[in-house]
Amino acid sequence: MKSILKDSRVEDLKYVAIQGLFLVTFGLASRSKWKEGGVPGHFIDQFGDTWLASLPGDLVIPFYTIAILETFAFAMFILSVFRMEWQKVSDKMYLRLGLILSLFIFVILSYGLRLVGEFGGAANTFFYFGVTLIALYMAEKHQNRDSSPF
């Protein structure tokens, strides 16, 4: 008798959870950035004394780089849902692309937090990176298992 946890429908739920977590994370983050209507005061207060403020346009480039990347990551996870990439037979291309992009976003966020001396926040971002890496490993492992000719 096949274990209920080995049932492919139940096994697929882990991908639904991954998609949901990253949709919430990047959906809310990107929404709040676009809702502000410019670089918010707290971002200027936090990074105004760093080398980032010397870039052309002050802190516009760093802020909107993060906003665009988070929005793009959200779009990757939305596409993953619409392509039903939680199913065992899917190739999980957008899920994997979203997770890879997420790794780079967490590197950028961690750098910014370390730059301003917020080491607790940087440590949290390190854990986000690690969990994302585990999720990517799961998606890659699934992909490699399904594409194996043996």
Contact call for residues 81 and 23 (beta carbons, < 8 A): yes
Place of tokens 């906003």: 67
Residues 6+ apart with CB under 8 A from 66: 33, 105, 108, 109
Report the length, in residues, of the chain: 150
For 122-143, the pLDDT digits (tens) are: 999 999 999 999 999 988 886 6
For 47-79, the pLDDT digits (tens) are: 999 999 999 989 999 999 999 999 999 999 999
Q: How far apart are CA 31 and CA 119, in angstroms?
A: 25
Local confidence band at 94 (pLDDT 50, 70, 90 cut-offs): very high
